[in-house]
Structure 1
C-alpha cells in the first residue's frame, strides 16, 4: 500500500534523514526573511542548523528575488505602523473638510474655526511624516550594514538559482497561466493578486528544473502555508499537496517534501542533535503567521469569537460563495462576519459579498475582518459603502498572533448595539 500511495505518507525518520544528507534543501523567500522577525537567540539557533546543512542548501532565483524585494519593508516593520496611522487620518481630513464646506454658512462654525480644525489635523499628519523620515534614515543605515544579509551571503555563496532570460521568464509565465486555468497548484490563491501573481508558480517550475538536473530529493522550507501549497485536516497542516509530490516524482523522478520553518527547525534539530528551544519555535511560528492561509485565518477568527460568545450563537457558513463566513447572534441582532486575507478588497468576490450581505435581510450588521490594514483607496470604498448602507458596517484589522489586535468581540458587540438602536429609533 505504501509503495502505491507513497505521496500520502509523511517521511519516516530514516527517510527524513536522507533528505538532509542527500537531498536539496530549498529555501523560500519567507524563510530568508524570518531571521529579521525573531530575536538574536532564535536567529542563532536557526543559523546553527542551516550552517550544518550548508552543502545541501539552495535558493530558487524567484525566492531570492522576492527576498530582496521585500527585505526593506520587513526591516522597516511589516505592520507599516506609520502608514496605518497616516492613511485613516488623510481619509478623515477629506471627510471633515467636505462636511465643513457643507455647513459653511452655519453661525456656530466660523471660517476661523474651520481653519483651526483642519490645521490641527494637518499638524498631526505632519508629525507622523517627521517620525517616518527618522525611521527611513535609520532604515537606510540598516540596509547598508546588515549582519543578517552577510550571514545569508556566506551560507548561500554559489547556491542561488540562475536568473532566467527574458524569453525563459515569459515562457514560465505562460506555463503558470495555463496551470492556473487547469486548476494546478501551487499559486492558485495568488491568481488575482495585482503584483507577482505568478511568483509561486514560477518558483515551483524552478524547483522542478533543479530536481531534474540534480536528481536529488527536494525538501522545500516555506512558510507560505496557503491551501494551494499544503494539505490540511481539521485545520492542521499535515504535509504538502498530493499533486506536488506526484508531479515532482513524475516529472523529475525524485522524492519531495515541504515544511514550514518551525517544523523544520524542530525535526532537523532533533536529527542533527541540535535541538532548538520552545521559545525559538514560538518566535518562528509568530514570524510566519503573516502568511496564514484563508481557512486557518477563518478558523482563528471563529476560535476567538468562541472565547466570548457561546457556540450556539455562532454560525459557520461553509458553502462556497456565501455572503458571509460567520454570523454571531447578540440579543435580537445578528452580525454577519466576512473573513478575508485580501486587505485590498481586490479579490473578485469580497466587494460583491459585502454588497450582498448589506442588502440582504438575514443580517442586521456586517463586520469585515482582515489580517492587514486596508489600503487608502479601499478605505474610501468602505467609507462610501458605510454611508450608503442601511445597516451598521465596520472593518477591523485582526491577527491571531498580535497582542495589540482589536478584540473581535468588542467590534461585534458595538455593531450589534448600533443595529438594535437603529431598530428602536425607527
Structure 2
C-alpha cells in the first residue's frame, strides 16, 4: 500500500460530520434572506468577468460593489486577487491579438470597374459610387481598429475594470488566510486523500489545488473573525465546490456548509456572479450580460470583446437617425412577424443582437436632433414617445432573454407588454414616415 493510502482514515466521515443529529434538523436560510446581512467574498473569475461587459453594465456593477463596500460587507481573498492579477494580463493580451488578426484579415479595397462602354449606364455609375463608399468604410474601419489597438496598448493597470477596482477597494478589503505553507499543504493532502472539498480535484493544476484551499481558509477566517454568514461569489461550478446537476452547479457541497458552520457558527453559500447581481438589485440588462460571460473560454473572451466593439462601429455607430429608426423598425417587425413568432415558444423576444445598441444610438441622435430648428423628421412629442417605448422595450427584452437562457421563471406579462409596445412603435413609425406625426 502506498504511503499516501496508508494515511486514509476510514472513519473520516465522523470528522466531516461530527454532529449527525444536527444534520436532521438544521435548516439553511433562504439565500435572499442571507443576502440582506451577510458578507460577500469575490472569486478571481468574478473579478475577471467585468472585462466582458459593456460600459453601462460596468457602471451597474460598480454601483453594487460600492454599496456593499460602504456597508463593510464586500471582501477579496488575497489568493483571488493574485489569480486575478495573473490572468488579467493574458485576457488583455488576447483582446489585443484578436484585434490585430481582425485588422490583418481585412480585404483589400475594391478596384474601380473600368468598362468605358458602360459609362452612360446608371447601374455602372452606381457601382462606382458604391465602390467609393466601400473604400471609405474600410478606411474608417481600419482607423477605428488602430485606435482600439492603441488604447489597449496603453493600458497599464488603468483599463476600465482595474480603474473601477482601484476606486472602490482598499487594502482592508483584501483578506489573507493566516496559514503557513506547511499548514495549507498538510490540509490539502488530507482533503485530497479523503475527497473533502475544496481542492481535492485539482491535482493537475500547477499548484495542486492549494489555491482553492487558501481561498477556503480565507473564507473561514473572515466568517470567524466577523461572526457573520458568508456568500462566496464565484462562476466556478467545479465538483469539488458544487453539487452538479447536468451542466450546472446547483448548490455548495454539504461538506463546505457543515465545515463553515462548525468553524464559525454561521452559514455559507455560493452564488454565480449574475445571481449575486440580481439579488443585489442590478438592472436586468446587466444580469443578462453578466450571465453570458459565465464559463467563457479564453479564445472566446477576445472574440466577444473585439467583435462586439467592431460590430458597433460597423453597424450602429455610423448610422444616422433615419437609418437607425428604420433598422429598429425591421427588428421589431421581425419580432411581430410570423417568421420569429412561435405559438409553442415559452419565451418570445427580439432576437436582433444589435437591438440595445440601436436603441442607445437612437437616443443619442434624437437628443441632438431635438436641438435643431428644422424638425423635418418628426415632432418632439411623438419622437420622445418613441424613445420611451424603445427604452422600455429594451428593458423587457433583456429580462425575457435572461429568463429564456436560464429558464428561471415565466415572463408571460413581460412578453405581453413587449408585444403591445412593439405594436405601438409600428403605428408611430408609420405616422412619422408618412408625415402623420402631429
Q: Which structure: greater strand fraction? A: 1
Report the structure, 1 or 2, having the larger helix content: 2
**What TM-score comes out, normalization by structure 1 length?**
0.49
When normalised by structure 2's length, the TM-score is: 0.47
